[in-house]
Structure 1
Amino acid sequence: MISIENVSVHIGNKTVLNAINLDIKPGQVTALLGPNGAGKSTLLKSLCQEVSLSSGMISVLGKPLAQWDRSQLAKSLAVLPQHASLTFPFKVHEVVQMGLYPLTISQHQGHELVDEQLKKVALSALKHRSYPTLSGGEKQRVQLARVLTQLAQAQRSPILLLDEPTSALDLAQQHRVLELAQSLAHDHNYCVVVVLHDLNQACRYADRLVVLEQGEVVSDGEPHRALTADIIEKVWHYTPTLVIDPKSKLPLIF
């Protein structure tokens, strides 16, 4: 699905990513973890061509990313940024309709699709609200509905990139958004890549954890293998209390 081969990114004299090699598959949630400045968001931005590679190559669906037609790629890959600035007084449904741009469907089908995605993020009641009047968390969920609309006509497994999607959400909405991401991966074969800071949420909702430190992958695998007490202490410089949930068998970190 996504092949990252020997990718490095330099900004000025600083190496932000150094020789990253990853193959990311559909049907699972892959979480990018690490302290501030580890390279998580830069790696995500490299997947949507927001930053230029200094070396290496990224391929999507077997084709080098740089060779994709932008309108065709938009049907297969969408990104939810950490912050989406939009100050014009669009209605909520009009913002979600922006995701219809790459699609070839009728106006009626477009309206139905927008309603469907708003329902997924529990915002149907705010359909006609002015977007700038929403809370930060509501705006984030509207933007999520927009990118899900964008991916509705993907011919193969859609790729959904999420950059700290829970940062503006309250506790219940954090879990609902991550449950949705997990459902899209497991039930609809999405390839979901998400940047997270909460290690417990990453363990609960991600199938695979990729831990970055100073632009390099230092741990990669299932939660119970990728996040050991030694890894946490080495990367975050924090000595955790780590226990295994007897029900889920997943690590709980305190």
Structure 2
Amino acid sequence: MSTLLEARHLSAGWGGCAVLSDIDLDLGAGEVLGLLGPNGAGKSTLLRAMAGDLAPLAGELVLDGRPLSAWPPQARARRVAYLPQASSLAFPFTVHEVVMLGRLPHDAGRRADDAIVAAVLAWTDTTHLAGRLYTLLSGGEQQRVQLARVLCQLMHSSPEEPLEGRLLLLDEPSAALDLRHQQLLVDTVRDLARRGCTVVLSLHDLNLLSSLADRLLVLAGGACRALDTPAALLTCEFLGELFGTELAVQPHPLKGYPLVFPLD
């Protein structure tokens, strides 16, 4: 498996104050990495640094063998798509117009753009919303539209093209989604990974994270606490120490990955 993204002694934060310190990480093509940790651990900061929105205070990020800071913005936008925890839009754009914003870094032509937009609207169950004003949608509908926008950004000329060399960064993508659309999110991420896309996502829902991630990067106090598989890390003892609460862990009855429950 080829390495797509490397973090080397990465520190990041704001105003010279580090929120993250000394992070080392290698991510391969088609890998799904889950970020796990309590509030304020640095998960969103790491995603912003990986997206190129936040310059490192120390160390570096390397995308496909080239320092991330050396990528021209448009070229980086063709390779890296980032969905932040909250996306605000005050203008009365339609859903179709919002999703089409994901095509701005590309020059594949109108026919390719239309095919990709149609595909991602279907994948996110937002086709029926295409003509609606984004500002009038529910929170869950807006989240699906924003997911469609970043999926649009990942593809250059076809919705079915291989995605090796692309990086998708998702910060709490299941926020406000109902159960059906959470499963749709899971299916979409798995399909992208099968096609070679590298995915890094932060989720407070440990069971969704367990079902999706090949590995978990555990952050605590801005430092790497552990990096291993969900099966190795999602234990009562480790989670109890990390979050300061008692939890029960049982294997999924069909798939075998760990499921986490409140003890009471």
TM score, norm. by length of structure 2: 0.91
Moved over 3 A (4+): 10-15
The Cα offsets for residues 17-39 of structure 1, whole Å up to 9 and x where unpaired, read as 11000111121211101000011
For residue 165 of structure 1, the aligned residue among 154, 162, 173 is 173
Distance in structure 2 (CA, Å) of the matches to 1:71 and 1:49? 12
- 8 Å CA contact 1:10–1:17 kept in 2: the answer is yes
Quickly say closer, same or farther: Cα 1:241–1:126, change in 2 above 3 A: same
Quickly say closer, same or farther: Cα 1:10–1:122, change in 2 above 3 A: closer
SS at match of 1:241: strand
Deviation, 1:2, is 0.6
Q: What residue is the counterpart of 1:178 in the other structure?
A: 186
Distance in structure 2 (CA, Å) of the matches to 1:11 and 1:108? 42
Distance in structure 1 (CA, Å) of the matches to 2:166 and 2:235? 31
Deviation, 1:112, is 2.0
Question: Structure 1, unaligned stretches of length 5 or more?
Answer: none
Deviation, 1:231, is 1.4
SS at match of 2:217: strand
Q: What residue is the counterpart of 2:259 in the other structure?
A: 252
Q: Does 1:144 align with 2:147?
A: yes
Q: What residue is the counterpart of 2:159 in the other structure?
A: none
Distance in structure 1 (CA, Å) of the matches to 2:89 and 2:228? 37
Deviation, 1:12, is 4.9
Distance in structure 1 (CA, Å) of the matches to 2:204 and 2:197? 22
> How many corresponding residue pairs?
253
Distance in structure 2 (CA, Å) of the matches to 1:137 and 1:113? 22
Quickly say closer, same or farther: Cα 1:130–1:12, change in 2 above 3 A: closer
Equivalent AA in structure 2 for residue 196 of structure 1: L
* Identical counterparts, % of pairs: 39
Q: Does 1:107 align with 2:110?
A: yes
Deviation, 1:216, is 1.1
Deviation, 1:14, is 4.7
Write out aligned runs for 1:202-217 (5 A).
202-217=209-224
SS at match of 2:176: coil
SS at match of 2:55: coil
Q: Does 1:38 align with 2:20?
A: no
Distance in structure 1 (CA, Å) of the matches to 2:41 and 2:85? 16
Equivalent AA in structure 2 for residue 184 of structure 1: L
- 8 Å CA contact 1:91–1:128 kept in 2: the answer is yes
- 8 Å CA contact 2:81–2:169 kept in 1: the answer is yes
Write out aligned runs for 1:59-98 (5 A).
59-98=62-101
Quickly say closer, same or farther: Cα 1:72–1:10, change in 2 above 3 A: closer
Question: Structure 2, unaligned stretches of length 5 or more?
Answer: 157-161
- 8 Å CA contact 2:12–2:57 kept in 1: the answer is yes
Q: What residue is the counterpart of 2:206 in the other structure?
A: 199
Distance in structure 1 (CA, Å) of the matches to 2:205 and 2:259? 11
Distance in structure 2 (CA, Å) of the matches to 1:102 and 1:4? 25
- 8 Å CA contact 2:32–2:198 kept in 1: the answer is yes
- 8 Å CA contact 1:76–1:156 kept in 2: the answer is no
Quickly say closer, same or farther: Cα 1:155–1:251, change in 2 above 3 A: closer
TM score, norm. by length of structure 1: 0.94
